[in-house]
Structure 1
């Protein structure tokens, strides 16, 4: 009887992350975090992303399957800074304390473009710009936070998580150096952006933001007066325009036609491909597009406008 109990106990341990064969079940909220978790956790994690197939990660309503994934996960890695509006609705206080990992812990956020409390342009949860991951230096902080969370959940493999995080951060440093080298050599780095997703990256590498088309709280897009002003400056000064896959296609087409300036689609990564190499590939592709547009090589890139 005693031997049976021991065997049963050992078998039970095999099913606990950190003691045997069981992997940590990790759920992420956006594609960059999926990429970070896969690279840090390696073979000791099984990672799912809450939104798949190019779905908008800013969506707050969840399906029955998504709720099931939330409740069956061991860890839920989110970006924070007001991005995941579903957290309070989907998780109890106990689940938050046990599962929730806020990857932006320790990062000082910037205010969302157009957010003014006194003007009532947006709800408090939209006060901060959440797109920190587009700056590889800030992405490194997110990677370290993920490594610490995995280590707490699975202390047996702590050194492996730490080593994987260090290796991945070295890749992020290479991307940072590449952006510095390429963009520092280009004097013309002024642009309009559809939204404020790239503000952290722009601040890091000296890209001058001439203006944001759709700011926080501007439901239905910018006012006709604001749009006319942007188009006038864009046309006269020939300032490039960048937009993302989630930008309003009709408005983007109008801006490109009326602004008559160089333009291109760049990827903010939220709904990108769920792949371990995604971050590196997209970051380098974005850089190549920045260089081509700032250098005047291309007139209009993507969407065949």
Structure 2
């Protein structure tokens, strides 16, 4: 009888040990799964996606909210987009003056566990109303197009990288190495622009909308925009006539428009002045042509430089 009790006691201990072991393994697996969770980052439009993706490499999942080929100025998020942002670890956008819907959106989602990165926040923005006399669209005159300056783009990369490291410190070295590599490419791009444009015979260029103010300022050029900060604002006939006279006076031979919007206004001015039209890409999204050519941010910026040469050298 005593042997039976001892056997039963040992058997009971084995069961308890098995249960404890199972619970421990379950907790270990849960902890392991939690620690192995990949960062989920949501970015607004192409430059923010490109900068972020270059920094994280394959260590995080990066979503692009505004699809390439979509004009982002008037884009608004859907309920599904808001849910995706809510479920992410980091949300990256350029500026409250560009993605104007972010202010309202950030009051409607729970940001207690969400790192929000306004990549242009440390940059002093141009007041477009002071820079030129173009007819600005209603709203703020702050120019948010900082990503078109290879110098200011590096500042955005730094802001994005800091947030990523805070969210995933264990991969800090990798993120810093990737960010350094990207900033080196942007620095090379800056040097290419400087070297190419320093001998430009013409310093002014005409664009469909005021997207290239930072790029122009960086390299000693002057942007003459047909419309204001938004490409869908059409100028008055009086403004077009004024621009036509300015274009003829300064012997400007190219009128630039962008691939994601209609070229109608640019073409009207070109017809009036005998100029030609060309695409100058503000990188608000890759066009179908860009994607077919396999171009990224650096590739498009180099292509833009070649297009600028058409009107700045003669």
Shorter-chain TM-score: what band?
Answer: 0.7 to 0.9
In our comparison, the structure showing a higher alpha carbon Rg is 2
Matched, 1:69 2:87: no
Note closer, same or farther for the CA distance 1:93–1:156 as it changes in structure 2 (3 Å cut): farther
| Candidates 195, 201, 205, aligned match of 1:181 | 195
1:293 — aligned with what? 311
TM-score w.r.t. length of structure 1: 0.85
Q: Look up the SS of the partner of 1:162 in the other structure.
A: helix
After superposition, the C-alpha distances for 1:147-188 in whole angstroms (9 at most, x for unaligned) are 111101111101111111011100000000000000112222
TM-score w.r.t. length of structure 2: 0.83
Matched, 1:212 2:225: yes
User: How far does residue 81 in structure 1 lie from its aligned partner after superposition?
Assistant: 4.1
1:221 — aligned with what? 234
| Candidates 22, 39, 49, aligned match of 1:34 | 49
CA distance in 2, matches of 1:218, 1:79: 18
CA distance in 2, matches of 1:99, 1:159: 20
CA distance in 2, matches of 1:138, 1:120: 23
Q: Do 1:58 and 1:84's aligned partners in 2 also have CA atoms closer than 8 Å?
A: yes
Q: Look up the SS of the partner of 1:85 in the other structure.
A: coil
Q: Paired residues, what number?
A: 288
Q: Do 2:42 and 2:88's aligned partners in 1 also have CA atoms closer than 8 Å?
A: yes
CA distance in 1, matches of 2:73, 2:183: 27
Gaps of 5+ in 2: 1-18
Root mean square deviation, CA, Å? 2.7
After superposition, the C-alpha distances for 1:55-109 in whole angstroms (9 at most, x for unaligned) are 1212242223322322222211000141112223333377345331111121111
Q: Look up the SS of the partner of 2:98 in the other structure.
A: coil
Q: Do 2:207 and 2:226's aligned partners in 1 also have CA atoms closer than 8 Å?
A: yes
Q: Do 1:194 and 1:247's aligned partners in 2 also have CA atoms closer than 8 Å?
A: no
After superposition, the C-alpha distances for 1:202-253 in whole angstroms (9 at most, x for unaligned) are 00001123x3211248974111111111112213432232222244422122
Q: Do 1:264 and 1:293's aligned partners in 2 also have CA atoms closer than 8 Å?
A: no
Matched, 1:149 2:167: no
Q: Do 2:86 and 2:111's aligned partners in 1 also have CA atoms closer than 8 Å?
A: no
Gaps of 5+ in 1: 297-305
Q: Look up the SS of the partner of 1:92 in the other structure.
A: helix
| Candidates 92, 110, 118, aligned match of 2:126 | 110
Matched, 1:200 2:200: no
